[in-house]
């Protein structure tokens, strides 16, 4: 009975794997993730499910989880046992050349957003099983899933710490153990582990002296490489960074409302070292931005300040740092950026409608052109645009041979007046004036006919047309010659058939002559007539045979001439080639 249930589980697991593969091909990543997870639960030996889960997580942009699963897959199979296809998939997931699993991973990718609410028990069992067998990468991967789907499950963080400790990632283990204690965990062994591990690392206490208006809006970060550290707020208003790596230079960044962002280099720590820093950022002042009221669907506005980005809507009123201020206005035609020159303690009215992006679609541009566009806005800004048009794309003008590119669109431009400068390596250059409406679709037709090099291209095009016409006439002559040869072959065949028929007549006349020569029925007149018929038939047969032979000889000559002429005509047509205006010299 147990064996039957086991076989059923394996069968169902393979079925779920099949579903997961199909769902991955259809980019149904959530479904593929569930199917692969089901396959792994039904049969933990289905190692392929780990790879399918990694691919599904990557599709969902859960990059860290995807990389951890990739490490677990390599650990399960062994690097030497991977197929070439597997290696390519894993390198795509990991974003680097494939190597043996490591516990430490970059944290530069976006934070995970995989927050399915699921039963944590299967993940817990998977972590415990991997730890019992010493499979560190598999335990780290499963622990990360566990803490992601159940972030408030304290034991998940304890197991995650155990998994990191398995891979000798002691600092990461310490961070997970601290999180376990923060969630209310009370395991005495964890407390002892924290006590043992803490002296290995450094501590930094940061105080910030800033005006009262910015105190409630401070941001303090400690970064090194692609990593950053968590902090704990202290009762006296300072920040505590603990469990800092040794032998690693760091960067302390302090920013806030009205403050100049301050960056302080932190020298590498020694084990157990504690430091204190007091930061006094420069005060830049504040300015109040008032957005005019306008239909929200017209555009969106993003304010960029010294230390942050703020999405603001119509009619908004907001205080921001008075230096380094710019606004990005976005609509269906792209984005436009304008720098706001403000004075501290002032109020500034900003109307996004004056900066609405536009689109300009230009037709008639010669293929292979370099197109420069410059627009001067009403407020004195200069908005540039540039395009390199492919030389071999577009239609051929039947009169001049000039290749005209498909219509080209410039996005994220502004309303105002400007110029369109077209430079072509063969046709020359020309500049035209533009008047553009802001926040709208503008269209323009470039008149390429006055370009100085058009006449040169037309002359080359006329010569090419004449050469192609001669080559095509040669092909036509070959076709006519082939038709004549075919007709002669038919005629020769007809004459040959006639000669064969006359041969039968000759044979019949000869037989009659022989019959008449029988002495029992001797008739001299009949014999004479039969012999005359035999002679006439033989003469006709010889004539038809000679005509047939001549016809076949002419046919053979015609075929030979056709082959030779056809080869020459084909070579000549190939030497002419298709019209390529970009090759004109």
The model's confidence at residue 379, banded by pLDDT at 50, 70 and 90, is confident
- Report whether pLDDT(112) > 50: no
**Average pLDDT, integer, range 569-576:** 52
Structure tokens at 529: 């007539």
- Distance, CA of 198 to CA of 244 (rounded, Å): 9
- Distance, CA of 263 to CA of 576 (rounded, Å): 68
CATH of domain 286-355: 2.60.40.10
- Distance, CA of 392 to CA of 477 (rounded, Å): 33
- Report whether pLDDT(25) > 90: no
**Average pLDDT, integer, range 356-383:** 92
- Report whether pLDDT(550) > 70: no
User: Residue 498: which region, alpha, beta or left (left: phi > 0; alpha: psi -120 to 50)?
Assistant: alpha
**Average pLDDT, integer, range 286-310:** 91
φ, ψ (nearest 5 deg) of residue 414: -115, 165
Closest CA to 230 of 171, 312, 276, 164: 171
Domain ranges of the chain: 2-198, 201-279, 286-355, 358-452, 457-581
The model's confidence at residue 573, banded by pLDDT at 50, 70 and 90, is very low
How distant is the alpha carbon of residue 439 from its chain centre? 30
Type and span of the H or E element at 491: helix 454-516
Contact 203, 246 (CB under 8 A): no
Sign of CA dihedral 105, 107, 109, 111: positive
User: 20, exposed or middle or buried, with CB in 10 Å at 0-12, 13-18, 19+?
Assistant: buried
Characterize the bridge pairing of strands 395-396 and 403-404: antiparallel
One fold for 2-198 and 286-355: no
| Residues contacting 108, CB < 8 A, separation 6+ | 226
Contact 311, 337 (CB under 8 A): no
Given CATH 2.60.40, say whether it is the number of domain 358-452: yes
Rg of the Cα atoms in the chain: 44
- Distance, CA of 465 to CA of 499 (rounded, Å): 51
**Average pLDDT, integer, range 204-211:** 92
Contact 135, 73 (CB under 8 A): no
What order do you get walking across the sheet with 286-291 strand by strand? 317-321, 286-291, 347-350
Beta bridge partners, 295, equal none
| CA trace torsion 462, 467, 471, 476 (10° rounding) | 40
- Distance, CA of 479 to CA of 495 (rounded, Å): 25
- CA distance to 32, 414, 531, 552, 553, per residue, from 544 (Å): 82, 89, 20, 12, 14
**Average pLDDT, integer, range 368-375:** 94
φ, ψ (nearest 5 deg) of residue 372: -115, 130
User: 133, exposed or middle or buried, with CB in 10 Å at 0-12, 13-18, 19+?
Assistant: exposed
Contact 173, 242 (CB under 8 A): no
Q: How many CB atoms within 10 Å of residue 508? A: 14
Of the segments 18-22, 119-123, 289-293, which one has the largest average pLDDT value?
289-293
pLDDT, tens digit (0-9, with 9 covering 90-100), for 433-472 = 999 998 999 999 999 999 999 999 989 888 888 877 776 6
pLDDT, tens digit (0-9, with 9 covering 90-100), for 86-100 = 777 777 776 644 444
Given CATH 1.10.3470, say whether it is the number of domain 2-198: no
- Report whether pLDDT(4) > 80: no
CATH topology of domain 201-279: Immunoglobulin-like (2.60.40)
User: 388, exposed or middle or buried, with CB in 10 Å at 0-12, 13-18, 19+?
Assistant: exposed
Q: How many CB atoms within 10 Å of residue 534? A: 20
What is the pLDDT, as a whole number, of residue 230?
A: 80
| Residues contacting 60, CB < 8 A, separation 6+ | 29, 30, 33, 113, 114
- Report whether pLDDT(103) > 60: no
Which position has the token pair 């709208």?
440
Say what percent of the chain tops pLDDT 90: 41
| Residues contacting 336, CB < 8 A, separation 6+ | 328, 329, 355, 356, 357, 383, 412, 413, 414
- CA distance to 490, 491, 498, 556, 570, per residue, from 547 (Å): 13, 9, 10, 14, 34
- Report whether pLDDT(210) > 50: yes
| Residues contacting 149, CB < 8 A, separation 6+ | 114, 115, 116, 117, 118, 120, 123
pLDDT, tens digit (0-9, with 9 covering 90-100), for 490-543 = 544 554 455 455 555 555 655 655 555 554 444 556 556 655 665 665 666 566
Structure tokens at 119: 């039963």
φ, ψ (nearest 5 deg) of residue 392: -105, 15
Sign of CA dihedral 490, 492, 493, 498: positive
Type and span of the H or E element at 115: none
Dump strand ranges (E) for 397-551. Answer: 403-404, 408-413, 416-424, 428-436, 441-445
- Distance, CA of 117 to CA of 432 (rounded, Å): 61
Judge if pTM exceeds 0.75: no
- Distance, CA of 389 to CA of 71 (rounded, Å): 45
Which residue has better confidence, 529 or 548? 529
Structure tokens at 490: 């038919």
Beta bridge partners, 114, equal none
- Please list the helix, strand and coil fractions of the chain in percent, rounded to the nearest 5, in that order: 45, 25, 30
Of the segments 23-32, 56-65, 72-81, 420-429, which one has the largest average pLDDT value?
420-429
């Amino acid at each position: 009975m147990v064996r039957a249930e086991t076989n059923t589980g394996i069968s169902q697991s393979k079925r779920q794997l099949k579903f997961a593969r199909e769902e991955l091909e259809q980019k149904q990543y959530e479904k593929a993730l569930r199917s692969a997870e089901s396959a792994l639960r039904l049969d933990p030996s289905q190692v392929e499910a780990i790879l399918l889960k990694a691919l599904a997580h990557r599709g969902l942009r859960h990059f860290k989880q995807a990389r951890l699963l990739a490490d677990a897959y390599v650990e399960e199979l062994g690097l030497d046992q991977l197929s070439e296809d597997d290696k390519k998939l894993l390198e795509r997931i990991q974003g680097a050349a494939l190597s043996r699993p490591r516990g430490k991973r970059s944290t530069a990718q976006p934070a995970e957003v995989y927050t399915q609410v699921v039963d944590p028990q299967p993940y817990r069992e998977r972590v415990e099983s991997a730890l019992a067998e010493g499979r560190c990468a598999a335990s780290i991967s499963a622990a990360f899933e566990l803490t992601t789907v159940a972030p408030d499950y304290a034991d998940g963080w304890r197991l995650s710490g155990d998994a990191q400790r398995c891979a000798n990632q002691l600092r990461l283990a310490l961070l997970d153990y601290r999180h376990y204690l923060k969630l209310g965990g009370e395991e005495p062994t964890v407390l002892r582990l924290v006590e043992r591990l803490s002296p290995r690392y450094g501590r930094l206490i940061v105080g910030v002296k800033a005006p009262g208006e910015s105190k409630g809006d401070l941001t303090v970060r400690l970064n090194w490489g692609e990593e950053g550290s968590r902090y704990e707020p202290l009762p006296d208003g300072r920040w505590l960074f603990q469990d800092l790596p040794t032998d690693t230079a760091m960067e302390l960044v302090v920013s806030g409302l009205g403050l100049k962002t301050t960056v302080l280099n932190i020298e590498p720590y020694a084990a157990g070292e504690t430091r204190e820093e007091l930061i006094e950022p420069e005060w830049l002042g504040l300015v109040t931005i008032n957005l005019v009221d306008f239909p929200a669907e017209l555009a969106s506005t993003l304010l960029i300040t010294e230390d942050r980005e703020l999405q603001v809507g119509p009619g908004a009123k907001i205080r921001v740092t008075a230096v380094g201020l710019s606004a990005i206005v976005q609509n269906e035609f792209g984005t436009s950026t304008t720098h706001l020159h403000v004075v501290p303690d002032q109020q500034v009215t900003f109307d996004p409608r004056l900066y609405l992006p536009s689109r300009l679609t230009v037709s008639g541009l010669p293929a292979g052109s370099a197109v420069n566009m410059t627009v001067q806005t009403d407020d004195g800004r200069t908005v540039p645009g540039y395009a390199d048009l492919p030389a071999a794309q577009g239609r051929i003008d039947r009169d001049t041979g000039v290749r005209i590119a498909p219509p080209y669109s410039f996005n994220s431009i502004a309303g105002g007046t400007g110029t369109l400068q077209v430079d072509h390596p063969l046709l020359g250059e020309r500049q035209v004036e533009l008047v553009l409406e802001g926040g709208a679709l503008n269209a323009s037709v470039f008149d390429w006919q006055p370009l100085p090099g058009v006449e040169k291209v037309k002359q080359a095009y006329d010569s090419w047309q004449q050469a192609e016409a001669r080559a095509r006439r040669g092909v036509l002559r070959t076709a006519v010659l082939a038709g004549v040869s075919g007709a002669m072959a038919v005629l020769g065949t007809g004459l040959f058939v006639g000669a064969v028929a006359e041969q039968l007549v000759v044979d019949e006349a000869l037989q009659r002559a022989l019959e008449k020569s029988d002495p029992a029925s001797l008739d001299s007149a009949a014999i004479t007539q039969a012999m005359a018929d035999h002679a006439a038939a033989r003469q006709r047969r010889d004539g038809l045979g000679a005509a047939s032979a001549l016809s076949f000889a002419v046919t053979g000559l015609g075929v030979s001439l056709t082959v030779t002429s056809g080869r020459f005509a084909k070579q000549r047509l190939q030497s002419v080639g298709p019209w390529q205006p970009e090759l004109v010299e």
